[in-house]
């Protein structure tokens, strides 16, 4: 069976599925999947160098905001 965000197991009822994939230097960018929707990725063109964050409403699962903090340049 196929599970949300490509996980190995399904989540219990009333829980959200998520998957975080770290990037590899500047070759492969990070990816954030939440509740079977890609929130951040190279394809969506909304990732940056450093720490990538997606703010999600914990009750509804709605994406509120995305952002990247460049930890290299300060």
Which two tokens mark 29? Answer: 């960018």
pLDDT over 80 (residue 25): no
State the Cα–Cα distance between residues 2 and 65, nearest whole angstrom. Answer: 28
Which two tokens mark 49? Answer: 């160098």
Half-sphere exposure of 11 (CA within 13 A, CB side): 14
State the Cα–Cα distance between residues 52 and 46, nearest whole angstrom. Answer: 9
pLDDT band at residue 74 using 50, 70 and 90 as cut-offs: low
Over residues 38-65, the pLDDT tens digits come to 999 988 889 888 889 999 998 888 999 9
């Amino acid at each position: 069976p196929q599970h949300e965000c490509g996980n190995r197991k399904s989540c219990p009822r009333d829980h959200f599925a998520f998957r975080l994939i770290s990037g590899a230097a500047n070759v492969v960018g990070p990816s954030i999947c939440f509740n079977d929707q890609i929130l951040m990725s190279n394809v969506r063109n909304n990732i940056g160098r450093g720490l990538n964050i997606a703010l999600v409403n914990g009750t509804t699962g709605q994406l509120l905001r995305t952002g990247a903090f460049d930890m290299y340049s300060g």
